[in-house]
Every structure is written in C-alpha cells, then in structure tokens.
Structure 1
Amino acid sequence: MRRYCLSDSQRERIKAFLPGREGYVGGPAADNRMFVEAVLYRYRAGILWHDLSVCFGDWKNVHR
C-alpha cells in the first residue's frame, strides 16, 4: 500500500458520506477515492493543490 492511500476497509467506512452514492442528489462523482486520497496527501504533506503529484491527475481538476 502506498503511504498516503486509503486501505479498502477505510474506504468502506467513509463511502456512505461521499457524493455519487445511491439516493444522493446531484451528478455522480468520477472518482471519490482518488479525490479523498489527494486531499489526504495534500494535508499530510503540507503542500498546495498545484504541488500534488501527477499520480492524482491534473491539479486544476482534482477538487472539482
């Protein structure tokens, strides 16, 4: 497992709180897990959005 990634059990515990779930009003989320991991990485590393690793995708779109 990568250092800043969620484990499968952690993901299961928070998925009910994320957009895109059944009964959620609004559009489906493209990749909740990647978004949450990007947020965790950002805060743990103490970096700005534009300093995110490329493995999280384009920093301009990760928080949309």
Structure 2
Amino acid sequence: MVGRGELTDAAWERIGPLLPGVDGRGRSWRDRRKAINGVSWGSRTGAPWRDLSERYGPWQTLCERFARREADRTWARLLEHVQVRDDFVGAGEWRVSVDSTINRAH
C-alpha cells in the first residue's frame, strides 16, 4: 500500500529510470523509491531534515542526496519530463496564482 503523498507504482515507473545511477561518490541507494518519498515528504511539509521519519532512512543521507540531485539538476529534469509529457497527452493543467498581498509595491 502506498502512503499518502508517496509515489504510486505508475509514478515510479515514469521517473525511476530517469534517476542517475552510481556516480562513483558512494554506494548505490538501497531503496531509491523510499529515498525519493522521504525527500518529497520533507519538501512537501517544509519540516527540518532531522524530523524525517526513520522509515525513509537516515536524515543525513537524504539531505546529502537531495543537495547532490539539486546541484546536478536532476529534480528540475524530472519535473520538466513530467510536465512536458503531461502537456503532450493533455493530462496536465498548469495554473499559476499570484496574490498581490505578498508583493510589495515601491
């Protein structure tokens, strides 16, 4: 069973192959899907890394992997892949909402 907010099997099949493999700077991820779910949970909730559930693995490891994948633009490429594909098949609806109360006028 997939937890709330975690990757479904269909989502994992789409992005799993796009993730980089071992880059020589350490061992391969034991469970890449679990690590992605942990990073996703942290990003979604805004919680500090130290507050990640132990079920996702050591918070230090997830923090390091998040930073490494941010630096090599993996997260941006995954988002772009999903958006482009969904736009192509007409499955995505992208909305942007700007609230003027958060923008200061000078």
- TM-score w.r.t. length of structure 2: 0.49
Normalized per residue, the structure richer in helix is 2
Larger radius of gyration: 2
Residue of structure 1 equivalent to 2:23: 26
Give 1:26 deviation, angstroms.
Answer: 2.3
What's the secondary structure of 1:38's corresponding residue? helix
- Larger RCO: Structure 1 or Structure 2 (Cα < 8 Å, ≥ 6 residues apart)? 1
Letter in 2 for 1:50: R
What's the secondary structure of 1:47's corresponding residue? coil
In 1, are the aligned partners of 2:7 and 2:37 still within 8 Å (CA)? yes
Over aligned residue pairs, what C-alpha RMSD do you find?
1.8
In 1, are the aligned partners of 2:35 and 2:57 still within 8 Å (CA)? no
- TM-score w.r.t. length of structure 1: 0.74
Give the ranges of 4+ consecutive aligned residues of structure 1 lying more than 6 Å apart after TM superposition.
Answer: none
Alpha-carbon deviations, 1:40-63, whole Å to 9, x = none? 100111111111012112211224
For residues 2 and 37 of structure 1, do their structure 2 counterparts lie closer, same or farther at Cα, with a shift above 3 Å needed?
A: same
Letter in 2 for 1:17: L
Residue of structure 2 equivalent to 1:50: 50
Distance 2:33 2:39 in 1: 10
Q: Any unmatched runs of 5+ in structure 2?
A: 66-106
